[in-house]
């Protein structure tokens, strides 16, 4: 009996060691933990009109030239529902990262994880990629210095009536991706989600032909992509959607983001 107990104890130790190693080696930890010691895990979403939720509530297939009304709260509301934690919507329509966002950012506080999603208004002003990258780096530095975990959201390319902005937003997304790699922080790759999930060039995740603000389905895609990123799930693998559904206790088929198909 004593030897059985001893062997069991050793096996438990082995299991514990293996579990730790497996997590360290292959499973990135969820970013959802209390970093500021206030006993509440809180997420902040910092950005412009897309963070604010302009264009939400409009279903796919409605012809939209200009957005006159929105409902639903955009991706922050969905993220809160998915993750089960409070999410602050710090989106200001029309805000540019370089001209104003980077100066508002130091006032953001009280969150443990912050998603930074700005740039389409910089594209309208044809801000250089270098200026965009420097501004974004400032925000990432401030977040880290204040104990927040930054997550950079990669901007999807606008289409249709705003398709001319795409070269700028693509350049910003590439630069933000490189910045995330250098800083060893996560991205929420909405640009990739658009690429895998849109079924045509006039992407149905946008209000079309407006082509700048996501519709109801588009905001679902953003929230699911960012939830996966925060939890450390690669949503673009063949079973990424199922993994996210399993992690969040969602019914099969709830996640609409499509996997990356090998060429």
Partner 1 sequence: MKITSHAFRMRSLLPTAVAVVMSPLLTSCGGGGGGEGGGENARTGIRLVQGAIDVAPLDLYDSGQLAATVRQAKFAAPSLYGGLAEGGHTVIATRANRPADRFTSQQVTVAEGDRFTLLTFGNTEGIGLRSRILKDAVPELGGQSGVRIVHGLSGAESIVASSPAIGASQSVSFGGDSGYKLVTPGPTRISFTRAVDGKNIGSVTLDALPDEAYSIFLLGEIDYFSAIRVAGDTD
Which parts of this chain interact with partner 1 (CB under 8 A)?
A: 11, 14-15, 17-23, 26-28, 103, 106, 134-135, 137-138, 141-142, 144-145, 179, 181-184, 186, 232-234, 237-240, 242-243, 246
245: its two tokens: 């559904």
- In the complex, the smallest distance separating the C-beta of residue 231 from partner 1, rounded to whole angstroms, is 8
Q: To the nearest whole angstrom, how small is the minimum distance from the Cβ of residue 133 to partner 1?
A: 9
Q: Are strands 186-188 and 63-64 parallel, antiparallel or unpaired?
A: unpaired
Kindly tell me which of 62 and 144 has the beta carbon lying closer to partner 1. Answer: 144
CA distance 196 to 31: 25
Backbone phi, then psi, for 95, in 5-degree steps?
Answer: -70, 135
| Distance in angstroms (rounded) separating the CA atoms of residues 221 and 258 | 9
Is-cis flag, bond preceding 209, omega within 30? yes
Neighbours of 7 (CB within 10 A): 10
Residue closer to partner 1 by CB (options 124, 142) is 142
**Which CB atom, from 140 or from 155, has the smaller least distance to partner 1?**
140
Residue among 217 and 247 whose Cβ is closer to partner 1: 247
**Residue 24 to residue 249: CA distance in whole angstroms:** 24
User: In sequence order, which residues have a C-beta less than 8 Å from that of residue 15 and are 6 or more positions away?
Assistant: none
Least Å distance, CB 171 to partner 1, is: 18
Nearer to partner 1, 140 or 223 (CB): 140
> Rounded to the nearest whole angstrom, what is the least distance from the CB of residue 162 to partner 1 in the complex?
29
Q: Measured from the CB of residue 26, what is the shortest distance to partner 1 in angstroms?
A: 4
Reading the block at residue 203, the tokens are 């992407």
| Residue 232: CB minimum distance to partner 1, A | 5
Looking at beta carbons only, is 8 or 71 nearer to partner 1?
8
Q: Which is nearest to 154 in space by CA: 139, 138, 136, 142? A: 136
DSSP labels, 203-235:
-TTB-EET-SSB-HHHHHHHHHHHHHHHHT--T
């Amino acid at each position: 009996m004593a030897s059985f107990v001893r062997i069991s104890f050793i096996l438990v130790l082995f299991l514990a060691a293996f579990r730790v190693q497996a997590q360290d080696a292959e499973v990135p930890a969820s970013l959802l933990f209390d970093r500021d010691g206030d006993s509440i895990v809180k997420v902040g979403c910092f950005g412009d009109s897309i963070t604010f939720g302009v264009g939400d509530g409009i279903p796919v297939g409605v012809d939209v030239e200009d957005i006159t009304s929105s409902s639903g709260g955009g991706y922050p509301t969905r993220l809160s529902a998915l993750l089960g934690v409070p999410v602050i919507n710090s989106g200001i329509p029309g805000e540019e990262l370089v001209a104003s966002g980077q100066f508002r950012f130091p006032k953001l506080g009280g969150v443990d994880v912050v998603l930074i999603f700005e740039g389409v208004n910089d594209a309208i002003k044809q801000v250089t990629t270098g200026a965009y990258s420097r501004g974004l780096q400032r925000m990432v530095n401030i977040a880290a210095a204040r104990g927040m975990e930054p997550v950079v959201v990669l901007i999807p390319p606008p289409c249709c009536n705003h398709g001319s902005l795409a070269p700028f937003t693509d350049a910003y997304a590439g630069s933000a991706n490189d910045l995330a790699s250098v800083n060893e922080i996560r991205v929420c790759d909405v640009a990739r989600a658009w690429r895998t999930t849109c079924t045509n060039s006039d992407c149905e995740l946008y209000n079309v032909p407006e082509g700048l603000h996501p519709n109801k389905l588009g905001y679902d895609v953003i929230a699911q992509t960012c939830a996966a990123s925060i939890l450390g799930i690669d949503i673009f693998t063949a079973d990424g959607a199922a993994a996210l559904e399993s992690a969040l206790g969602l019914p099969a088929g709830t996640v609409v983001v499509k996997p990356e198909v090998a060429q």
